[in-house]
Structure 1
Amino acid sequence: KYGGADQQTFLEMLDKAIKENPTATIYIKTHTDVINGYKQGFITNNLNNNSVILFSDDINPISLLKHVNKVYVVTSHMGFEALLLGKEVITFGLPWYAGWGLTDDRHKNIKSLKHNNRRTEATITELFAASYILYCQYINPNTGKKGTIFDVINYLIKIKKLNNKLRGSVN
């Protein structure tokens, strides 16, 4: 709703993806909220094309994005993750990262954002800084007090190393 989209928007996105990539296999990643029953999916019940594969498992988006060239989204944050990986991104809704000159924006209202001076051109580095450094507030996982993105990153690195060290198998 707040992304300026409805069921028709999702169906249009799928139709465009198929028509604009006639020889490609189209992979659809079901949103985590749909998988967990918090939202209704619009595309899962409308698949009738052999070149379309549905991923309904809760997988890491980066592991999927590494294998594609182009990403079609309505408002999904996966589009921003795709931009970070240098992928071409086509938007059909109004995600926060649309309208900055980095995406192919198909929503009819995106032009009004640009004409009202709400959007100018930005680099992916500027959008990353704005969203992950300037906008977000972090809590230092070690102290529970206000922290930075680097506190969280360092904590995750430490936890991953510990998990890998403790990982084992039953013979």
Structure 2
Amino acid sequence: MILDDSTSYYDATKPSRLERLLQSGPELSEQQVKRAEALRSMIVDHRISKYNHAPDAPLTIGSSQRPKILLLDQRRGDQSVISGMADEAVFRKMLQEAIHDYPGHDILLKQHPDAITGGKGSYFDNQSLAFIKNVDNVFLIDFDINPHALFDIVEEVHVVSSGMGFEALMAGKKVHCHGMPFYAGWGLTDDRIHLNRRSRNRSLSDVFHYAYIDLSRYYNPDLGRACELEELIDYIVKHR
């Protein structure tokens, strides 16, 4: 759980504590940087994700001769979209721009898990994507898959405000933000929106430290108590 006493950490419409720390907070100490880098490497090396329930298997999609980009869907009406200064039109524009700007790439479009399992809609639902049947380089990923399996085969990732975009940054991918998620505006992403309040360049370790270490709290179900992130990573790996 990430705690913020000002507003939701993903709210770009007003300053959150996370934003204030990244904009005006101190530089990390050498020890803090080393810990952040070690934890980030552990998460990536163990292929840990928000979607740990999803299977992790090699993917063969599109042409082996074409480079690939990934577009990420989100749950329709999700507050992180609204608070990320975006709407349905932004998702449409993101897809239209990808088709126009990447004619030589395979475009992988990852549908949101809630839309796959049913019961909740997403911005890239079957109705809005009907036209892609006539576009030969767009491929719909309408099944659960570990995000790292997708990161393995793509060069770039396009998001509106999905938290999975930060996982892509952690995995070393170039990320384009069409909305304003918590990790945008710090010089790490290619941003379509610019927020004047965010004017400081921050490293990936900086953002990771404040979001994953400083403001977050973790719980170990085996021990029935709060724990540090290192311990939680061990728990996830043990029970996978």
Aligned to 1:4: 85
In structure 1, C-alpha distance between the alignment counterparts of 2:213 and 2:146, rounded to whole Å? 22
In structure 1, C-alpha distance between the alignment counterparts of 2:87 and 2:107, rounded to whole Å? 21
Confirm or deny that 1:152 pairs with 2:232: yes
SS at match of 2:83: coil
Confirm or deny that 1:71 pairs with 2:157: yes
Deviation of the 1:38 alpha carbon:
2.6
Residue type of the partner of 2:212? Answer: Y
SS at match of 1:72: strand
**Which of 113, 121, 141 is the equivalent residue of 1:39?**
121
The structure having more radius of gyration, on CA atoms, is 1
Instruction: Kindly indicate whether the alpha-carbon contact (under 8 Å) linking 1:102 and 1:124 is maintained by their aligned counterparts in 2.
Output: yes
SS at match of 1:142: coil
Residues 37-116 of structure 1 aligned to structure 2 (within 5 Å): 37-42=119-124, 44=126, 45-46=128-129, 47-48=131-132, 49-107=135-193, 111=194, 113=195, 115-116=196-197
Aligned to 1:142: 222
Aligned to 1:130: 210
Residue type of the partner of 2:235? Answer: Y
SS at match of 1:39: coil
SS at match of 2:108: strand
TM value normalised by structure 1: 0.82
Deviation of the 1:42 alpha carbon:
3.4
Aligned to 2:14: none
SS at match of 1:71: strand
Deviation of the 1:43 alpha carbon:
5.5
Aligned to 1:27: 108
Deviation of the 1:122 alpha carbon:
0.8
Greater relative contact order (CA < 8 Å, ≥ 6 in sequence): 2
Residue type of the partner of 1:132? Answer: Y
In percent, how many aligned pairs have the same letter?
A: 40
Instruction: Kindly indicate whether the alpha-carbon contact (under 8 Å) linking 1:26 and 1:51 is maintained by their aligned counterparts in 2.
Output: yes
In structure 1, C-alpha distance between the alignment counterparts of 2:199 and 2:120, rounded to whole Å? 31
Instruction: Kindly indicate whether the alpha-carbon contact (under 8 Å) linking 1:73 and 1:91 is maintained by their aligned counterparts in 2.
Output: yes
Structure 1: gaps spanning 5 or more residues: 161-171
Deviation of the 1:26 alpha carbon:
0.2
After superposition, the CA RMSD in angstroms is 1.6
**C-alpha spacing 1:39/1:4, structure 2 compared with 1 (3 Å):** farther
In structure 2, C-alpha distance between the alignment counterparts of 1:137 and 1:73, rounded to whole Å? 26
Deviation of the 1:13 alpha carbon:
0.5
